[in-house]
Amino acid sequence: MALTGIQIFKLLPKTNCKECGHPTCLAFAMALASGKAELASCPYVSDEAKDQLAEASAPPVRPMQIGAGDRSFKIGGETVLFRHEKTFLGPPGIGVLVSTDTDEGTLAEKLKVWDTFQFERVGFNLRPELVAIKDANGDSGKFAALAKKVADESNFCLVLMSEDVGVMKAGIDASIDRKPVIYAATKDNVDDMGALAKEKGLPLAIKADDMDGLMELTGKLTGMGLKDLILDSNSRTVRRAFEDQICLRREAIMKKNRALGFPAITFPCEMADNLDKETVIASMFIAKYAGIIILSDFIGESLFPLLVERLNIYTDPQRPMTVEQGIYEINGPDENSPVCITTNFALTYFIVSAEIDASRVPSWLLIMDTEGLSVMTAWAAGKFVGDAVGIFVNKSGIFDKVKHKKLIIPGYAASISGDLEEEVKDSEVLIGPRDAAQITKFLKEFGG
């Protein structure tokens, strides 16, 4: 729950020392309230005030860092129920289950393959983050060896799965550098598991059969001083798991219930008997609120759709996605191939490049940075106008690649052609179609 500037002011030293960069403590308090300043800028604030402020201003779903190293990621921090209200902040980590039963040779092979699942898209590297290691038979030596192997041979973050505290401790000691998630504390082992998580400074997942059970455990663990908790309501049917996700998020956001204000871990791998079905269940958890999603296997056919969905659901709905400005080659163009120009709104790029691709006409596509605006909007905002586009074309280096000076512009920007011809010496500007669906026809006629 956010505090007002005045409420924050009461907790500050009120000395107006200016060391925070603001003229008065009141001004600083106002800046804090609107999120424009950090409390850390005040060197004199008391620890007690710090705690109170942190507590009051903390997001309803606790944000936390998972893992260490290259693939570490942040979950939680959410403040809304629907993405159109405010961006979803903590994309769920996607993981794969291995167990102490898994054959070692197979595992080495699989780790290598899993590592290759990385997809470049609109400047993001889409990839899964986690391997969940399950203790199948209470053998702490085996468990530790497996955790060590995964930590040594891959850079995945880890979830260690055992309810036996001794086994868990062995696993942690073998992989502590990777900052594994501990799964799970239950009502039977909560004291020891909580103490272990606290001692090692690791996030702790808790498992209980219902919300009351979860709250009892989070209450106990936060009382012990633990902060980074992850919830498993142990529902393994689709409807119940869906309702639990809605319930957890609503409790956190609508009821400000701190006892349930933590990210959730989910297990499609325990909810279906084939990977296709797991995939659709996982897609539900991406849209509706999971913090971690564990699958039984990684294959490209399943991961790619899920990673793209996650990227889409977790984009800022207020800010368009963009692609990088530059020259894109499609279908292996040469010095005579047509040159098309459009804006860097990701959707515009995807659709235009897909249509050019489908036309099979070798082409150059020039993408101009319009701050993610589509053609019409960019034109209306004065960003996709003759001289600006001309300057971009001249600097792009396209004329080192082609020996003609024909430029194809989007139909909706037809009116810039005169200015563009003026800006780009000796050029001939052709008006392309308004609708990307007509690109194939246009290019074929252009070529023929």
Q: What is the Cα–Cα distance from 180 to 187, expressed in whole angstroms?
A: 21
Span 243-272, contacts to another protein by CB under 8 A? 243, 246-247, 250-251, 254-255
Instruction: Please say whether the beta carbons of 12 and 46 come within 8 A.
Output: no
State the number of binding residues for another protein (CB under 8 A): 56
Residue 82 near another protein by CB under 8 A: yes
Residue 277 near another protein by CB under 8 A: yes
Which range of residues in 132-140, 223-231, 298-306, 411-419 is near another protein by CB under 8 A?
A: 298-306
User: Which residue, 25 or 241, has its beta carbon nearer to another protein?
Assistant: 241
Which range of residues in 65-73, 147-155, 242-250, 392-400 is near another protein by CB under 8 A?
A: 242-250
SS3 361: coil
User: Which residue, 27 or 280, has its beta carbon nearer to another protein?
Assistant: 280
Can you say how many angstroms the Cα of residue 356 is from the centroid of all Cα atoms in its chain? 30
User: Which residue, 83 or 383, has its beta carbon nearer to another protein?
Assistant: 83
Q: What is the Cα–Cα distance from 190 to 203, expressed in whole angstroms?
A: 14
Span 120-139, contacts to another protein by CB under 8 A? 121
Which range of residues in 79-87, 173-181, 393-401, 409-417 is near another protein by CB under 8 A?
A: 79-87
The crossing angle, in degrees rounded to 10, of helices 211-223 and 190-200 is 50
Least separation in angstroms between CB 218 and another protein: 13
Span 150-209, contacts to another protein by CB under 8 A? none
**Torsion of the alpha carbons at 298, 315, 439 and 388, rounded to the nearest 10:** -140
For another protein, which residue of 9, 28, 117, 267 counts as binding (CB under 8 A)? 117
For another protein, which residue of 17, 68, 136, 287 counts as binding (CB under 8 A)? 287
User: How many CB atoms are closer than 10 A to CB 56?
Assistant: 13
Q: Burial-class residue 222 by CB neighbours within 10 Å (0-12, 13-18, 19+).
A: middle
Residue 118 near another protein by CB under 8 A: yes
User: Which residue, 212 or 334, has its beta carbon nearer to another protein?
Assistant: 212
Of the chain, the end-to-end C-alpha distance in Å amounts to 65
Instruction: Please say whether the beta carbons of 90 and 76 come within 8 A.
Output: yes
Span 300-359, contacts to another protein by CB under 8 A? 300-302, 304-306, 308-309, 311-313, 315, 317, 347, 350-351, 353-354, 357-358
Nearest to 62 by CA among 248, 220, 247: 248
Tokens encoding 63? 């944000």
Q: What are phi and psi of 364, to 5 degrees?
A: -100, 135
Instruction: Please say whether the beta carbons of 160 and 182 come within 8 A.
Output: yes
Q: Identify residue 243 by its one-letter amino acid code.
A: E
**Binding positions for another protein, rule: CB under 8 A:** 82-84, 116-119, 121, 210-212, 237-240, 242-243, 246-247, 250-251, 254-255, 276-277, 279-281, 283-284, 287-288, 299-302, 304-306, 308-309, 311-313, 315, 317, 347, 350-351, 353-354, 357-358, 437-438, 441
